[in-house]
Amino acid sequence: MKWFTTLMTVALLAFAAPTAAQTPPDVLVVGQVAEPKSLDPQAVTATNDFRILVNVFEGLVRFRKGTMEVEPALATSWTISDDGLTYRFQLREDVTFHDGTAFDAEAVKFTFERMLQTDHPFHDTGPFPLAFFFSAIDTINAVDPLTVEFTLREPFAPFLSALAYPTGLVVSPAAVAEAGTEFGQHPVGTGPFRFDAWEPDAKVVLGRNDDYWGDAPTLEGVEFRPIVDPGTRTAQMLGGEIDLMVEAPADNLAMFRTDPGFVVHEEAGPHLWFLILNTKEGPFADKRVRQAVNYAIDKQAIVDDVLKGSAAVAAGPIPRAFDWAHDDTVEPYPHDPEKARTLIKEAGAEGATLTFYVAEGGSGMLDPVAMATAIQADLAEVGLDARIETYEWNTFLSNVNPGLEGKADMAEMAWMTNDPDTLPFLALRSDAMPDNGGFNAGYYSNPEVDRLLGEARRATDQAKRGALYKQIQRIVHEDAPWVFVANWKQNAVSTAAVTGFDLEPSFLLILRDVTKG
């Protein structure tokens, strides 16, 4: 029935001429790709959720606009000891949380100890799946109300970058104490917008924080609406029901570019769309079959025909955006069905049936159903029967993140990251198996990769770090625990009335400087 859905979408777009904005004045209405899972910054992993959270919360540091470079936020400055083990931050004065309580060093200490200490009185407000980012922290000391010091167990080169990522956003201790496990439905931060309401499957509403320590936003508020279907998101954009939509279908970008009522925004960033392969059991326990599916899938055709050139074919686990850590000598697996058939025959996997988990949508997932259909056809050509099971985004994550053992042979996935360490450390390291709270859902394990990841995390010289990640890329490319499909160039579409908006290479939505005419 895919052809019918496509025809209906085309018909809908044909009759949905742009109209005068129906959205409230001075309230920006954003079409998101999925319902948020939670609004607790330490409890979520999806960029879809982070795009809301970075407008409600702030961290000690943040990514400078238009870059992945770190600049002050709730901290005004910091020093790093010569041995790379001690980070001391001077905090901004006269900052309050949205509940009126003071932001200070104790709030910073509370935020990180809640994540990291299992005996913390509010650790049960988790889980905290990305606490891995801060596993190098040994102690946190509130030196005085405006000075906080982190002591690390060993040098950790991505530490400042990790603090700028949404997992490092600082929460109100008083609000956590009051809401407990419901804090994710009642978030309180220091950001330019405060949380007002969450109507499940309808909208998350933010209001302007008039007591913001910086320049208060011009917008009165922001409304994030979950619109999972990309055709519906496009139709609502054309119909004036939303002011800004993220992840526009590639098919529709040309239409928006030629209409003066809209602005198309594009920005390269560190993104990887891949297939997780179950290396623990089933056909993909054999490296030859994993390599075979990398050869079997025509990734260039997916990029050209499904994604309409909005991505590049991926060559490994390090996104191309990290040019200093990406090994350009590692070529993507070419489309070679004959080579795939040979490897499958050698492994005795001819005619194998594969359970294939597919998402309906989600942050960074591009066009997951259409991509899965193309992949299914390519695998059929080499004698593999991939049987698609499709799930809503949050259900999909709850199926995949705990691991594929006993459930599936392969699953789609996409990551948008802040450092070349992030994705391999959280999803390829032996100690990152799901039972340990990690995201290694395919159970890949290679001691040499583990060793190199540990060495790269401790290397403070970028050139040395880059060389280590290039070694990792070469090994993982050969081991093929994933099918490396695409590195995406993100996009968004806004009405011409929206000004001051730019996409960020971090894939976050920073809305404090946005206005709406």
d(CA 501, CA 499): 6
Tens digit of pLDDT for each residue in 30-84? 999 999 999 999 999 999 999 999 999 999 999 999 888 899 999 999 999 999 9
Which class for 379: exposed (0-12), middle (13-18), buried (19 or more C-beta within 10 A)?
buried
Tens digit of pLDDT for each residue in 465-493? 999 999 999 999 999 999 999 999 899 99
d(CA 358, CA 312): 21
Which class for 387: exposed (0-12), middle (13-18), buried (19 or more C-beta within 10 A)?
exposed
Domain assignments of the chain as residue spans, ordered by start: 40-183, 271-489
Buried b (16+ CB within 10 A) or exposed e, 237-256: bbbbbbbbbbbbbbbbbebb
Q: What are phi and psi of 41, to 5 degrees?
A: -65, -25
CA separation (Å) from 403 to 281, 330, 364, 476? Answer: 12, 28, 20, 19
Q: Which two tokens stand for residue 148?
A: 């906080």
CB 91 within 8 A of CB 148: yes
Task: Place domain 271-489 in its CATH homologous superfamily.
Answer: Dipeptide-binding Protein; Domain 3 (3.10.105.10)
The pLDDT assigned to 437 comes to 81
Tens digit of pLDDT for each residue in 354-364? 999 999 988 88
- Strands of 86-91's sheet, edge to edge? 75-80, 86-91, 147-152, 137-144
Tens digit of pLDDT for each residue in 236-267? 999 999 999 999 988 889 899 999 999 999 98
Pairing, β 385-391 against β 353-359: parallel
480, 398, 469: which is closest to 439 by C-alpha?
Answer: 398
d(CA 466, CA 420): 9
The pLDDT assigned to 17 comes to 43
d(CA 255, CA 244): 16
CA dihedral sign, ordered 28, 29, 34, 35: positive
CATH number for the segment(s) 40-183: 3.90.76.10
Q: Which residues contact 32 (CB under 8 A, 6 or more apart)?
A: 48, 51, 52, 224, 225, 226, 227, 246
Q: Decide if 40-183 and 271-489 have a common fold.
A: no
From first to last of its 517 residues, what are the pLDDT tens digits of the chain? 333 334 344 444 443 444 454 899 999 999 999 999 999 999 999 999 999 999 999 999 999 998 888 999 999 999 999 999 999 999 999 999 999 999 999 999 999 999 999 999 999 999 999 998 899 999 999 999 999 999 999 999 999 999 999 999 999 999 999 999 999 999 999 999 999 999 999 999 999 999 999 999 999 999 999 999 999 999 999 999 999 999 998 888 989 999 999 999 998 889 999 999 999 999 999 999 999 999 999 999 999 999 998 899 999 999 988 989 999 999 999 999 999 999 999 999 999 999 999 999 888 899 999 999 999 999 999 999 999 999 999 999 999 999 999 999 999 999 988 899 999 999 999 999 999 888 999 999 999 999 999 999 999 888 999 999 999 999 999 999 999 999 998 999 999 999 999 999 999 999 999 999 8
Q: Which two tokens stand for residue 193?
A: 């917008």
d(CA 456, CA 444): 19
pTM of model > 0.85: no
